[in-house]
Amino acid sequence: MREIKGTTKVCGLIGNPVAHSISPLIHNHLAEFENIDLAYVTFKVESSKVAEAVKGAYELNVFGLNVTVPHKNEVINALVDIDPLARDIGAVNTLVRAKGGFKGYNTDILGFQRQLIDANIELMGNDVIIIGAGGAARAIVFLCGQEGANSIYILNRTLENAQQLAKDVNKALDINVAIGMKIEDYNLLPNKQFITIQTTSVGLHPNDDCAPIENLDFYDKVSVGVDIIYNPTKTKFMKLVESKEKIAYNGLKMLLYQGVCAFELWNETKVSEDIIMHVYELMKKELNLVE
């Protein structure tokens, strides 16, 4: 157990609920292995008190904060500065001290980007399918747009949500590559190979035996699959991708990397690969994942 001293920097997570978050494990181990005098705790904050909590944290000299559900949008109003990608997405999960207050970042998306780099998945010039049009999809669609994807097909149960997201990203980034479609219209997709990213909650444990698209023909169009779900570790979507001899990844690295990216922003450091892998193993054990 590390010693908490007068010099110990305090970081934390604001959200509601926060008690079962994996973030304390990630950050306290990163601090221990990197030999940085930092402690990470959780703060349960009510929705009406986000601005007060952020202001109070700044005055208490809190070194850095993460923000989770349901405050990732609301917190933007309490910042003095915001990273452009986080602003476009409209969600912030990491606060870094700046002059007079906190600056906001979205390391959920920076973590996802890092996972893609790890897996050698190149968005630039490639065709992408995003399944889902919720908060997670929004961040990923903006990343694809920013990285210069050739086309972004957003397939969603509710067509209007897909179309709205496509419109938002095209407008914000001044592009014309995002298209919203109804999920069952996947047979209308062009005859190409797509990087396919699954962002819905379909297939999440205990509904392990569900995928947002069950028809095997769809998976002929998938060049590589990424599911943001990490429990079970191999979702039905991933199994369907693999049935066509293609590679599929789950969302566990994304979860770890959002933490690593926040830790690196706070401490102006680069965490080594060895330490990242060590924390990855600890996380897997702690989360009690279904194989």
- Give me the half-sphere count of Cα atoms (radius 13 Å) on the Cβ side of residue 153: 23
Nearest to 119 by CA among 276, 286, 251, 275: 251
Instruction: Return the residue of 157, 182, 239, 284 that touches ligand ATR, per CB under 6 A.
Output: 157
The answer to whether residue 99 is catalytic is no
Residues in region 116-155 near ligand ATR by CB under 6 A: 132-137
Which x/- pattern over 211-250 shows residues binding ligand ATR (rule: CB under 6 A)? -x--------------------------------------
Nearest to 208 by CA among 242, 236, 240: 236
Instruction: State the Cα–Cα distance between residues 89 and 82, nearest whole angstrom.
Output: 11
Instruction: Return the residue of 8, 16, 151, 161 that touches ligand ATR, per CB under 6 A.
Output: 161
State which residue, 155 or 279, has the beta carbon closest to ligand ATR.
Answer: 155
Would you give the DSSP letter of residue 143? H
Please pick, among 44, 72, 244, 285, the residue that the annotation labels catalytic: 72
Task: Check binding of 201 to ligand ATR (CB under 6 A).
Answer: yes
Smallest distance, Å, CB 70 to ligand ATR? Answer: 10
State which residue, 23 or 199, has the beta carbon closest to ligand ATR.
Answer: 199
- CB atoms < 10 A from the CB of 209, how many? 11
Binding part of the chain for ligand ATR, among 24-32, 80-88, 198-206, 281-289 by CB under 6 A, reads 198-206
Residue pair 228/200 in contact (Cβ under 8 Å)? The answer is no
Residue pair 58/96 in contact (Cβ under 8 Å)? The answer is no
For residues 191, 197, 200 and 201, what is the CA-based torsion angle, rounded to 10 degrees? 130
Task: Check binding of 196 to ligand ATR (CB under 6 A).
Answer: no
Instruction: State the Cα–Cα distance between residues 184 and 200, nearest whole angstrom.
Output: 15
Q: Which two tokens stand for residue 201?
A: 């909650």
Task: Check binding of 202 to ligand ATR (CB under 6 A).
Answer: yes
Smallest distance, Å, CB 192 to ligand ATR? Answer: 23
Q: Which two tokens stand for residue 135?
A: 């908060």
State which residue, 122 or 184, has the beta carbon closest to ligand ATR.
Answer: 184
Active-site residues, by number, are 72
Name the site residues for ligand ATR (rule: CB under 6 A). 132-137, 156-158, 161, 199-202, 212
